[in-house]
Amino acid sequence: MTFKHCLAPLFLAVTTLLAQAAPVSTAPTFADDPSAVEFARDLERRQGFNADELIGLFAQAHPNATVLKLIKPPASPLQRSWQRYRPRFLNDRRIDRGVIFWQENAGQLAKAQALYGVPAEIIVAIIGVETEYGRNMGGFSVFEALSTLAFDYPPRAEFFRTELEQFLLLARENKLDPLAVKGSFAGAIGIPQFMPGSQRRYAVDFDGDQHIDLGNSVDDAIGSVAHFLEQHGWLAGQPVAVPASVAGTADEALIEAGVRPSLKVADLAKNGIKANTDPEATVALIDLVSPGEKTEYWLGFENFYVITRYNRSSFYAMSVFQLGEEIRRRLCAEQTATTENREIYCHA
pLDDT tens digits, the chain, 348 residues: what are they? 443 344 344 444 444 444 444 444 468 999 999 999 999 999 999 999 999 999 999 999 999 999 999 999 877 667 889 999 999 999 999 999 999 999 999 999 999 999 999 999 999 999 999 999 999 999 999 999 999 999 999 999 999 999 999 999 999 999 999 999 999 999 999 999 999 999 999 999 999 999 999 999 999 999 999 999 999 999 999 999 999 999 888 899 999 999 999 999 999 999 999 999 999 999 999 999 999 999 999 999 999 999 999 999 999 999 999 999 999 999 999 987 777 788 889 876
User: Distance (Å, rounded) from C-alpha 92 to C-alpha 82?
Assistant: 18
CATH of domain 65-71+80-231: 1.10.8.350
User: Distance (Å, rounded) from C-alpha 168 to C-alpha 50?
Assistant: 12
Q: Are 222 and 230 in contact (CB under 8 A)?
A: no
Cα 103 to Cα 94, 96, 136, 222: the distances in Å are 14, 11, 20, 13
Residue 129 carries which side chain, given as an amino acid letter? Answer: V
For strands 263-264 and 282-288, give the pairing: antiparallel
The residue ranges of every structural domain in the chain are 65-71+80-231
| Active-site choice (130, 144, 165, 230) | 130
pLDDT at 339: 79
pLDDT at 76: 64
pLDDT at 249: 83
User: Distance (Å, rounded) from C-alpha 303 to C-alpha 110?
Assistant: 19
130 is catalytic: yes
pTM for the full predicted model: 0.90
